[in-house]
Structure 1
Amino acid sequence: MEQLEKYFTEIGPVWSALIATTFTWLITALGASLVFFFKEVRRSIFDAMLGFTGGVMVAASFWSLLAPSIEHSEKMYPDFPWMPAAVGFLAGALFIFSLDKFMPHLHINFGDDESEGMKTKWHKTTLLMLAITLHNIPEGLAVGVMFGAASIGVGGEQMIPAAIALAIGIGLQNFPEGMAVSMPLRRHGVSRFKSFWFGQLSAIVEPVAGVLGAYAVIHMQPVLPYALAFAAGAMIYVVVEEVIPETQRDKYTDVSVLGFIGGFVVMMVLDVALG
């Protein structure tokens, strides 16, 4: 771990963010690649993995994003340390809310007539991929902002390990997200290669969002607490509006809740142990 921290310190925040989010994208591709070996996954396992995704995102939102945002705000705004976190959190949630209303997409376990966003005649393949892409925008942004924060000395020596822990946690929960696109497509008759292609493509936005997040923080340092909270608000919106409802549409609701608890604990342990 020390060598990894040294490496990320030497190459700078933008390259660090790019490498870390490329890792999370590759894990998505790994999850999507299971479509070459299986046509479908048992619904109970699928719901548990989606729950795990939600738990990781909620834990990361607090331990890796909101807590550092408030801590940094105490130095910038000693009288109103809550203000940047509150404003950023609301802005992040409203940003995803706007995308959700205008970007055509279809949630994983929803019927063809339950697509959201602007009405379109786009194929279900595209709509499913766009739904997962909504997940990945705040995730990539969060990793980039963390590495950007480390580059300007926020959080001391523990910020880079915290950024690495966040990237590992996001990578773990990206594995089922890759499956969440590729497997339903395969069940609907799409070829294995196309199912894999769209599954991995849903996460290609993460390196882009990660680089933009790191670049914004190092060039506009006052936005850091807002940016951290922005990513947290965006992720919480995705969990409550999309991930949790998708796990509650069958008889395996208890399994998905246990998956959520497991994901939360794993991300919490990663952040505390490494960060």
Structure 2
Amino acid sequence: MEFSSVLLALACSMFAFAMTTLGSSFVYLIKQPGKKIVTQISLGFAAGIMLSAAFWGLIIPAFEKADELSLNAQLHVTLGIVVGIAFLILLDKSLPHLHILAKTPEGPHITLSKKILILSAITIHNIPEGMAIGISAVAVSSFTDPAYASAVMLSVGIGIQNIPEGCAVSVPFFAEGTTKNRSFLLGMFSGIVEPIAAIAVAIFAAGNTELLPFMLAFAAGAMLYVVIEELIPEAHLAGHSDIGTISVLSGFTLMMILDTAFG
């Protein structure tokens, strides 16, 4: 069977999307809208996994790929991280959105429903995750390439963090009075941007392999911005700082174990 990085990106990103759907379905297990602490734990755990994935699954492979291509690793990786952060800042300032536990919308002032604003925030959040999956897939040359396991573990890690993330979208909608079915669908479709971003980036990167170190670092920078600007602060919003911190560290440790043991 001929190896295809684009098909690998499709398979990995669809797995991540399926995990978002699974997490969103947890809304059916809730009899009454719960406290914000459930959402906080979910976001903290997701933050830890993304933070760990950025280092173990993207930044370190970016340095390795740069050395493999005889490129200046420090320059390409640093530039990629900086541009990735700048890209997310631009999206953050350009798109009206509302973080899940926040009360005040961010970005341009446009009158939109709360549901649309929250979905916009999740879209901003999911773009770098999809990019990370797509770029990691292109960094793999064959099924026997050690990078294959790393790319798969990255998608597994992102998929795992998509479970609490899907829950963190559907449950607040239900708490706001949306029906369970509608809350589930909103949570599920909040993750659809990941396969789209993964496939688009994989197609582009497949023809520009010399840019792989930069692009891996770009995705890492974008993910780091999301974690530091959005997820970690939201994991501490209601004052349960210990719970939020433990959730972040738990997610980080789990992803580290996955990547180092199987990657």
Give the TM-score band, short-chain normalised. over 0.9
User: Runs of at least 4 residues of structure 1 off by over 4 A?
Assistant: none
Residues 14-29 of structure 1: matches in 2 within 5 Å? 14-29=6-21
* 2-structure distance, mates of 1:42, 1:122: 26
Which amino acid counterpart does residue 167 of structure 1 have in structure 2?
Answer: S
* 2-structure distance, mates of 1:40, 1:24: 26
User: Is structure 2 residue 31 aligned with structure 1 residue 57?
Assistant: no
Which amino acid counterpart does residue 65 of structure 2 have in structure 1?
Answer: H
Q: Note if contact 1:17-1:147 (Cα within 8 Å) is conserved in structure 2.
A: yes
Identity %: 39
Q: Note if contact 1:143-1:167 (Cα within 8 Å) is conserved in structure 2.
A: yes
Residues 245-256 of structure 1: matches in 2 within 5 Å? 245-256=233-244
Aligned residues: 262
Residues 29-68 of structure 1: matches in 2 within 5 Å? 29-38=21-30, 39-68=32-61
Residues 195-206 of structure 1: matches in 2 within 5 Å? 195-206=183-194
* Counterpart pick for 1:190 among 178, 186, 204: 178
* 2-structure distance, mates of 1:11, 1:212: 18
Structure 1 counterpart of 2:212: 224
User: Is structure 2 residue 150 aligned with structure 1 residue 150?
Assistant: no
* 2-structure distance, mates of 1:74, 1:151: 16
Q: Note if contact 1:140-1:210 (Cα within 8 Å) is conserved in structure 2.
A: yes
Offset at residue 130 of structure 1 (A)? 1.3
TM-score, length-scaled by structure 1: 0.91
> Aligned-residue CA RMSD in angstroms?
1.6
Query: Structure 1, residues 227-246: CA drift from partner, whole Å, max 9, x if none?
Result: 10000000000001100111
Query: Structure 1, residues 27-83: CA drift from partner, whole Å, max 9, x if none?
Result: 1111111222314344333322211111111111011101111122224455x3200
Q: Note if contact 2:232-2:248 (Cα within 8 Å) is conserved in structure 1.
A: no
* 2-structure distance, mates of 1:25, 1:81: 32
Structure 2 counterpart of 1:137: 127
Which amino acid counterpart does residue 66 of structure 1 have in structure 2?
Answer: I
* 2-structure distance, mates of 1:75, 1:168: 25
Offset at residue 10 of structure 1 (A)? 4.2
TM-score, length-scaled by structure 2: 0.95
User: Is structure 2 residue 258 aligned with structure 1 residue 270?
Assistant: yes
* Counterpart pick for 1:208 among 182, 189, 196: 196
* Counterpart pick for 1:89 among 81, 87, 101: 81
* 2-structure distance, mates of 1:219, 1:257: 41
Unpaired runs of at least 5, structure 1: 1-8
Unpaired runs of at least 5, structure 2: none
Offset at residue 215 of structure 1 (A)? 1.4
1:139–1:202: structure 2 CA closer, same or farther, 3 Å change rule? same
* 1-structure distance, mates of 2:26, 2:2: 35
